[in-house]
């Protein structure tokens, strides 16, 4: 995806003009996670689609610049996906997304050499929630399961998750090892307002559930244990842009978790990268 980020200098003047700084960045939840993983020293491949346009070529080169093994299929008809990100003067953001070529990701686009024992598959929830790319996700989940890989998925965003519905999402992700959600996504999936209660309910479906709590840190329920592991968020002087902070958290958490580090250490690592993302404009680390 290409993110067009409009960062307002003042409170939004609805129906009129608001001064802003507008910049272009690489985006897309899965690609963001891959970029953060790569700059943090991990070996990572990203599978996706792009258009046969300048934006697509730029996104391809950008991922390779981060050190990502970019397996991007070029779509001859659809453009590279675009997301308009509107950031208020307080750092809150709202997104308008056009997935473009991403909506046509197919099972045939999946490189079979990546599905190997000992590897880990992370699926962007957006790819599962989009009906066009859903068959590719289901094929990836099945192939990863047969290869004995661990699998994680995130809840994408509350609004599209609600449109698909809690029950279909839970059924489609049966067999996933680890679920990442925030409080809004947890409420959609469980109906519980309290994030802790939502995470505990979800732990009945997934062996490991990580609840991202924004400035309050994160918690994890694992293997049906009654009490979560919880860590506070690091102090942040100023939030510049919240875009991609959840993706950075996933990238910080996964390597420590896959290395069998204590859950608290993995949560702290996730919060560390999320804090870095909050200090930047855009969803990717600086090259």
Q: Looking at the domain assignment, is residue 66 inside a domain?
A: yes
Q: Looking at the domain assignment, is residue 287 inside a domain?
A: no
φ and ψ at 236, to 5 degrees?
Answer: -125, 120
Per-residue burial over 188-213, b if 16 or more Cβ lie within 10 Å, else e, is bbbebeebbebbbbbbebbebbbbbb
CATH no. for residue 37?
A: 3.40.1190.20
Domain residues for 238?
2-278
**pLDDT on residue 224:** 81
Q: What is the pLDDT along the chain (287 residues), one digit of tens a residue?
A: 999 989 899 998 989 999 999 999 999 999 999 999 999 899 999 999 999 999 999 999 999 999 999 999 999 999 999 999 898 888 777 889 999 999 999 999 999 999 999 999 999 999 999 999 999 999 999 999 999 999 999 999 999 999 999 999 999 999 999 999 999 999 999 999 999 999 999 999 999 999 999 889 999 999 888 899 999 998 887 777 677 889 999 999 999 999 999 999 999 999 999 999 888 877 788 87
Whether 119 contacts 143, CB under 8 Å: no
**pLDDT on residue 178:** 98
Q: Looking at the domain assignment, is residue 20 inside a domain?
A: yes
Q: Looking at the domain assignment, is residue 285 inside a domain?
A: no
**pLDDT on residue 49:** 97
**pLDDT on residue 88:** 85
**pLDDT on residue 90:** 80
**pLDDT on residue 241:** 67
Contacts of 172 (CB under 8 A, 6+ apart): 128, 134, 137, 138
Whether 155 contacts 180, CB under 8 Å: yes
Q: Looking at the domain assignment, is residue 44 inside a domain?
A: yes
**pLDDT on residue 278:** 83
Q: Looking at the domain assignment, is residue 119 inside a domain?
A: yes
How many structural domains are present in the chain? 1
**pLDDT on residue 277:** 86
């Amino acid at each position: 995806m290409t993110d067009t980020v409009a960062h307002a200098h003042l409170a939004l003047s609805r129906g009129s003009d608001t001064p802003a700084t507008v910049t272009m960045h690489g985006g897309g939840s899965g690609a963001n996670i891959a970029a953060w993983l790569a700059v943090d020293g991990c070996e990572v491949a990203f599978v996706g689609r792009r258009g046969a346009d300048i934006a697509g070529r730029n996104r391809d080169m950008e991922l390779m610049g981060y050190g990502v093994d970019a397996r991007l299929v070029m779509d001859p008809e659809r453009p590279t996906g675009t997301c308009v990100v509107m950031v208020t003067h307080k750092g809150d953001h709202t997104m308008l997304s056009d997935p473009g070529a991403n909506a046509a990701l197919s099972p045939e686009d999946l490189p079979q050499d990546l599905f190997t024992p000992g590897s880990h598959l992370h699926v962007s929830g957006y790819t599962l929630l989009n009906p066009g790319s859903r068959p590719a996700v289901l094929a990836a989940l099945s192939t990863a399961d047969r290869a004995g890989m661990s699998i994680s998925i995130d809840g994408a965003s509350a609004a599209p998750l609600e449109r698909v519905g809690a029950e279909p999402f839970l059924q489609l992700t049966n067999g996933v090892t680890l679920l990442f959600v925030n409080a809004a996504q947890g409420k959609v999936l469980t109906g519980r307002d309290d994030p802790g209660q939502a995470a505990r309910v979800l732990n009945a479906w997934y062996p490991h559930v990580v609840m991202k709590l924004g400035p309050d840190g994160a918690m994890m329920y694992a293997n049906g244990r009654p009490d979560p592991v919880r860590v506070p968020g690091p102090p942040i002087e100023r939030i510049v842009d919240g875009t991609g902070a959840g993706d950075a958290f996933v990238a910080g958490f996964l390597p420590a978790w896959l290395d069998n580090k204590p859950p608290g250490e993995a949560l702290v690592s996730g919060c560390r990268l999320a804090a870095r993302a909050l200090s930047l404009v855009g969803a990717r680390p600086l090259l």
